[in-house]
Amino acid sequence: MTTPTATPAHGPEAPPAEAPDDTARLSAAVDFVRNQDTATLLRLLLPGLDGPELRALADRCRFAHAALLVFPADGPSLRRQLTACGLDADAVAQPSVVVRERLALRHRREAAALDVRILRPEVRCADGERRVVEMFTLAVPPGSELADVAVHERAGDHEAHIAFEVGRPDPLVLRGLCETFAQHGAVADGGGYNPHEDGTVFYFTAPADSKAGYRRVELYASGDHRSVLTPHLAAYQARQPAETLLRLMTGAWTTQALAACAQLRLPEAMDARNDGGPRAVIGVDALARAVDADPENLATLLRYLAMLGVVSAEPGGFRLTGLGELLRTDSPGSMRSLALMYGGAFYQSFALLASAVRTGQTGFEQLFGENHFDYFARQPALAERFDQSMAASARMFDPLPSHPVIAAAGAVPGRRTVVDVAGGTGELLGRILAARPALHGVLLERAHVVEAARRHLDAAGVGARCSYRVGDFADVPASGDVYVLSRVLHDWDDDRCREILGHCARAMPAHADLLIVERLLPPDGSPSLATAWDLHMMCNVGGRERRADHYAALLDGAGLRLVGHSPLPLGASVLHARKAAPAAAARLPEPSRQG
């Protein structure tokens, strides 16, 4: 971006020493926004555009703003700069998490120490369009240790960019725009999805022969377009290995921040509402008193949680988001227990991941001296939390009551029975029975879990249609019509899985169906939740996730055959199996009484 040498006149009060440079830069940005139009700017930005391409781009996106980062000494200094450039001095400023994180990375500073704000004062444009100057601000008082940051950023203008807003965005249009930019020399330069604004941003570095005066370009599309954003970010990250690796290394901080949020019960403390409407903004001091925390340290945690979208940072404090609500104990679909498990015992054992890889022994066993099932059995409070954490992923069960096998069983006259093997506290069985009033349920579990399941199913209003059996896998009841194994097999090695499936096969009548709920590893190695859970199972449980063909082989070894599988929410799948022909059934393993 070219900065004019002239400095606009100021009011009677002289600004701080560093203000003239920023005022000149801001004035140049205002003039740019006022006098450009979409078609002219696209022609300057991508000089190789031909007529049809230019018309196509101009029809699909419009010039929306120019952006820059300024460093006022304080609030009054910023107001003087805005007034001097003919902008609204009362424009509302919001925290800018994205720019703050980029500054922290560039200057190797703690993000919490950088109070970066964003405001968007409107500019009166020559062509009658409504455009804004997007201003990022970082306060740098005289003598501040951030002075070197201001000098470096003014010289490099790293955050300066121009932005185009895409009208009527859809994946096909966005892919076409990104491809056109790339074909004419623009290079992917990051981006992201902002859940607060429900908007997707694509950044580019302008072509070397661009005459637009800005090196960085933004495409903004309302809505969630992460399917298009993913390959765009992959192209960017391939050129930023150090930054990408650094972000990956901080994943543990996110786990602990979410666990701390749950431990402190911040979501409960932030649930105050204004007259039953949106949640109120709550100040840090008030929150600190409510959760008995140090205000300064709590503010640091809240800023990080705002970056994650768990809370939103707003003038006067913070507001709980829909994402953060899932960490409330009493929220529908609460994931609080899951956050505490992943930030607690399971988190501790991941410190022994390298040892688990070397030795074949789970990190959990090395840390606690026994497998997690036995350890939890001796820790009632932890066992209850584990059972609650399993229920936290219950959204994956939503489609199962409508599965053709369940629907067919519920439509047949006479009593039909669904047997949930190792069914936990009955979350899945309860959903099936509630949706299918003609069905009866049987839940097989350990004694202490059966009592919790009985309470849960009674509370769900389906307890009268459910019976319970205390036991292990060798006690699978016979004569059921549908058998369910939900998130069981991934806990065990292949031999134990064949044994468990063998118990099921022996109990199943010839007409019965078996539904298996698990996450499936993708056959092509593409990114998936199952790949992450595979690592977790190895380190903490001693089990594994598997591909569909792997499960088919296990089923075959137990006298069963895989009929098919279909996707479920949260990266899960349901596999449908039935008994194999009698010749295959002869290969069933011998019974075992091991739990």
Within 10 Å of residue 526's Cβ, how many Cβ atoms?
8
Mark whether 431 and 552 lie in a shared domain: yes
Residue 384 lies in a domain: no
Give the pLDDT band (50/70/90) at residue 7.
very low
Q: Is 383:376 a contact under the CB 8 Å cutoff?
A: yes
Mark whether 134 and 230 lie in a shared domain: yes
Of 244, 276, 301, which residue constitutes the final position of a domain? 244
- pLDDT greater at residue 414 or residue 170: 170
Of 176, 209, 244, which residue constitutes the final position of a domain? 244
pLDDT at 455: 93
Q: pLDDT tens digits, residue range 37-46?
A: 999 999 999 9
Residue 525 lies in a domain: yes
State the Cα torsion 374-376-380-386 to the nearest 10°: -140
pLDDT at 17: 42
When pLDDT is averaged across residues 406-411 and rounded to a whole number, the result is 92
Q: Is 333:395 a contact under the CB 8 Å cutoff?
A: yes
When pLDDT is averaged across residues 83-98 and rounded to a whole number, the result is 87
pLDDT at 186: 93
Residue 281 lies in a domain: yes
Q: Which amino acid is at 380?
A: P
- pLDDT greater at residue 26 or residue 100: 26
Residue 194 lies in a domain: yes
In the numeric block, the tokens 């993000």 are attached to: 111
Give yes or no for residue 12 having a pLDDT over 50: no
Mark whether 70 and 100 lie in a shared domain: yes
Q: pLDDT tens digits, residue range 174-183?
A: 999 999 999 9
Mark whether 240 and 362 lie in a shared domain: no
CATH code assigned at 431: 3.40.50.150
- pLDDT greater at residue 314 or residue 442: 442
Mark whether 288 and 324 lie in a shared domain: yes
Q: Is 46:186 a contact under the CB 8 Å cutoff?
A: yes
Give yes or no for residue 590 having a pLDDT over 70: no
Residue 12 lies in a domain: no
pLDDT at 272: 61
Mark whether 224 and 323 lie in a shared domain: no
Mark whether 171 and 218 lie in a shared domain: yes
Q: What is the CA radius of gyration of the chain?
A: 30
d(CA 325, CA 310): 8
Give yes or no for residue 5 having a pLDDT over 80: no
Q: Is 505:491 a contact under the CB 8 Å cutoff?
A: no
When pLDDT is averaged across residues 472-480 and rounded to a whole number, the result is 94
CATH code assigned at 124: 3.10.180.10
CATH code assigned at 323: 1.10.10.10
Q: Is 481:512 a contact under the CB 8 Å cutoff?
A: yes
pLDDT at 423: 92
pLDDT at 593: 35
Q: Is the dihedral of CA 275, 276, 278, 282 positive or negative?
A: positive
Active site residue 490: yes
d(CA 577, CA 573): 13
User: Which is the catalytic residue, given 372, 403, 456, 490?
Assistant: 490
Parent domain of 224: 19-244
In the numeric block, the tokens 């801001």 are attached to: 26
When pLDDT is averaged across residues 301-322 and rounded to a whole number, the result is 88
Percentage of residues of the chain with pLDDT beyond 90:
61
- pLDDT greater at residue 17 or residue 425: 425
pLDDT at 277: 61
Residue 257 lies in a domain: yes
Q: Please, what's the b/e burial string for 470-485 (b: 16 or more CB within 10 A of its CB; e: otherwise)?
A: ebbbbebbeebbbbbb
d(CA 534, CA 29): 51
pLDDT at 526: 77
Q: pLDDT tens digits, residue range 135-173?
A: 999 999 988 889 999 999 998 888 999 999 999 899 999
Q: pLDDT tens digits, residue range 432-455?
A: 999 999 999 999 998 888 998 999
When pLDDT is averaged across residues 357-362 and rounded to a whole number, the result is 94
Split into its structural domains, the chain has a count of 4
Mark whether 134 and 232 lie in a shared domain: yes
State the Cα torsion 67-71-73-76 to the nearest 10°: 0
pLDDT at 438: 94
Mark whether 225 and 240 lie in a shared domain: yes
**Mean pLDDT, the chain, as a whole number?**
87
Q: pLDDT tens digits, residue range 293-308?
A: 999 999 999 999 988 8
In the numeric block, the tokens 């990114």 are attached to: 527
Of 244, 275, 308, which residue constitutes the final position of a domain? 244
Mark whether 550 and 458 lie in a shared domain: yes
pLDDT at 18: 39
Residue 475 lies in a domain: yes
Q: Is 199:226 a contact under the CB 8 Å cutoff?
A: no
Task: Provide the 8-state DSSP code for 541.
Answer: I
When pLDDT is averaged across residues 324-349 and rounded to a whole number, the result is 90
Mark whether 141 and 272 lie in a shared domain: no
Mark whether 188 and 63 lie in a shared domain: yes
Q: What's the 3-state SS for 50-105?
A: CHHHHHHHHHHEEEEEEEEEECCCCHHHHHHHHHHCCCCCCCCCEECHHHHHHHHH
Residue 591 lies in a domain: no
